[in-house]
Amino acid sequence: MATKDAPVCQIFSFHDSKTSPDPFFGLAPECLNPTPVPIVIDNGSFQTRAGWAAPSPAELSSPQLQFRSVAARSRGAARSETQIGNDIPNLEPLRWLLKSQFDRNVVVNFEIQELIFDYIFTHLGINSEGSVKHPIVLTEAPCNPLHCRQMMSELLFECYSVPYVSYGVDGLYSFYHNNNQRKPQPPHTGIVLSSGYHCSHILPVINGRLDAVNCKRVNVAGSQAASYLQRLLQLKYPGHLSSITLSRMEELLHEHSYTAADYHEEMEKWRSPEFYEREVHRMQLSFSGKLPSGCVTAEERQERRAQQLRRLQEINARRREEKLQQDQERLDRLLAVQELWEDGLLDQFHRSLVELNMDSAEELQSYIKKLQLAVEQGRQKLLHSDGAEGKTDVLEFEQPMDEGDGVALMDSDFFEDMLPQKSNMAQPSFNMAEYHQLFVGTERLRCPEILFQPSLIGEEQMGLMETLQYVLARYTPEQQEALVSNVFLTGGNMQYPGMKERIERELLAMRPFQSHFKVTMASRPALDAWYGAREWALEHHPGEESEGWISRKDYEEKGGEYLSEHCASNLFIPMKIAKPVPARPAEPPVTAQTSTGASAAITTVTSSLDPSSSGLSADVTMVTS
């Protein structure tokens, strides 16, 4: 938000930053000795970050790769021609080709996910054939479906033959990292408000573990805000539709938007013209400035007018010559027909009249007289001096002109220059630069507001704080007090200025009188998930009995959906899928006596079963029915 000392007119320009391809890093010796170092991948729906969980050197303590989670490949192109992330310098020309592995925040397109993994491993310097010898720490969505985790584990273990995999939630990794920096007394209890590109989540943490039953998701986040801003500005400036791109809208959100502590009060401030002029951000678009006519001197204007008059006279003279030639040719033809009548060749004369669409010799004589008069007048005009015809040219030009008369040679502002100039009339000034400006005013706070009021974009769901209130109501007062004492904000969509103050204001209105709460913001809301995953990997070394790691043996024995829980992971809730009983082959019809005996035998066998078998028969009966 602008300060009071800011200039009255704030003009900004779009950066339109273009990415450069990521370099191919070499594999450092520290990543192999004494054991292979884990690879940490923050698999975000907006941006993917990858690096090493190595204690040293310092250049490995930050993510080496950061790129957009998109891939572009033309139809029919080979797999090797796919462009990933930073290989695409500008997303807008290829917007219609972009594909992501995500549906909202859940990975569903594993073909694209495999291309992303290939890109990561290749650029990190892993060149081993057929396998990746390093453990993988990967983030996933809260309450990730078992099928999606099964497909991801199958991809990593079967395609890349990784030795260990660990899954965790990005918001919980950020919570874990910031808690370790503040060093509170474990186990940690709090509630995480995470907002990313596609979704926002409310994640309650009780005694260091995620309470998955009470997790909630709000389907409003950064992508919806960018689309809303694009729609608002395109409706406001229909003449600049091609300049209002989605990439520029994301730039506006990241650098020029803010969250209002009180939305309605802030909107009232924008009614003031002084406040509007001080706070509006003018985004300058590129344009080619045309020299205004007011900058031309009187002598230049007079000379240009004289040149245009001479050009117009030449055009009219050429037009009169062509018309005179056409009239002369038509007159000669009519005179030839008249000679047929004078020579007594009546049959040819009548046939010629029919061709000329005339009925009698009198009509022919009338046309001949008119054409003779027109030809004579045309010759007289050609004999006039240029000075005498200067005034009549303009009037003649207003008559309909045939195609190809050379009108395109005239300047478009001829008629404007021919108008009489009045010295006492104020000429309106047109500012070309201001026409190519986008005035971003209330849009700066309306777009982030959809996180709290999804109804602004037509979404029929609760906002973030209403959902938080609903989640807190599911706990006892003592648990609520413990949760609100550590409200943690993380995610790229939480970086708007004023977001923390807005959350505190909403909590103050929501909580009982004189109750205590504390809201903290992640130190790096967009990157702390990766740093938290790296910190967890450094503290928990992979092994068969290590907490949070899934080995290939576990994958083969327990299935791809298996999850080894830890402090920043989802909860593993196995699903019992009843398998249908295979149908028995059709038996030939038997007599009533045989069927009675068979039913008696079945009754005897069933009654002789132990009590534990009754549950099995009940389950089978339920499935088959």
- Whether 2 shows a pLDDT value over 80: the answer reads no
Give the integer Cα–Cα distance in Å for 427 and 284.
25
Residue scoring higher pLDDT (75 or 562): 562
232-248: average pLDDT: 95
CB distance 489 to 178 below 8 Å: no
Separation of CA 350 from chain center: 78
Q: How far apart are the first and last CA of the chain?
A: 65
The pLDDT of residue 619 is 39
413 closest CA partner among 514, 341, 322, 305: 305
Mean pLDDT in residue range 378-384? 78
User: Which residues make beta-bridge pairs with 591?
Assistant: none
Q: Alpha helix (H) ranges present in 494-610?
A: 499-510, 528-539, 552-558, 592-607
pLDDT of 183 strictly over 80: no
Digit-coded pLDDT (tens) for 93-132: 999 999 999 999 999 999 999 999 999 999 999 988 889 9
pLDDT band at residue 600 under the 50/70/90 scheme: very low
**Rounded-to-integer distance, Cα 233 and Cα 516, Å:** 41
Residue 549 has pLDDT above 90, yes or no: yes
Q: Tell me which CATH code domain 222-286+436-521 carries.
A: 3.30.420.570
pLDDT at 433: 79
CA–CA separation, 162 and 546 (whole Å): 16
Residue 392, pLDDT above cutoff 60: no
Summarize the confidence of residues 321-347 as an average pLDDT: 83
Confidence bin at 404 (pLDDT 50/70/90): very low
Position 528 pLDDT exceeds 80? yes
Instruction: Quote the CA–CA distance of 103 and 83 in Å, as a whole number.
Output: 20
- Token pair in block for residue 235: 């409706």
| pLDDT score for 596 | 39
Nearest residue to 499 (alpha-carbon basis) of 452, 454, 453: 452
Looking at residue 579, what is its pLDDT? 65
Indicate the pairing of strand 39-43 with strand 102-103.
Answer: unpaired
Least reliable range by pLDDT among 17-26, 325-334, 477-486, 569-578: 569-578
Distance of CA 281 to the CA centre of its chain: 22
Q: What letter does residue 221 receive in the DSSP assignment?
A: S
- pLDDT reported for residue 402: 43
pLDDT single digits (tens) 361-371 = 888 888 888 88
Token pair 């006492």 is at which residue?
A: 424
pLDDT in tens, 254-312: 999 999 999 999 999 999 999 999 999 999 998 865 544 455 677 888 888 888 888 88
d(CA 196, CA 527): 12
Q: Look at residue 336 in the predicted model and tell me its pLDDT.
A: 84
Helix (H, G, I), strand (E, B) or coil at 525: coil
As to burial, measured by CB atoms within 10 angstroms (0-12 exposed, 13-18 middle, 19+ buried), residue 459 is middle
pLDDT at 406: 41
Assess whether pLDDT exceeds 80 at residue 140: yes
Q: How far apart are CA 26 and CA 39, in angstroms?
A: 14
- Residue-wise pLDDT tens digits, 460-514: 999 999 999 999 999 999 999 999 999 999 999 999 999 999 999 999 999 999 8
Res 371: pLDDT = 85
Is the four-CA dihedral 162, 167, 173, 176 of positive or negative sign? Answer: negative
pLDDT band at 330 (very low <50, low <70, confident <90, very high): confident
pLDDT of residue 578: 64
Question: So what's the pLDDT on residue 299?
Answer: 80
Average pLDDT, the chain: 84
| Alpha carbon distance 548, 541 (integer Å) | 10
**More confident position, 510 or 580:** 510
- Helix ranges restricted to H, 455-498: 464-472, 477-484
Report H helices in 183-280. Answer: 222-236, 246-256, 263-269, 273-279
User: Bigger pLDDT: 338 or 483?
Assistant: 483
* Structure tokens, 265: 């009060």
Report the pLDDT averaged over residues 404-413.
41
Average pLDDT over residues 418-424: 45
The pLDDT value recorded for residue 296 is 60
**DSSP secondary structure letter of residue 420:** P
Range name among 39-53, 73-87, 107-121 with the lowest pLDDT average: 73-87
Dist CA 511 CA 191 (whole Å): 15
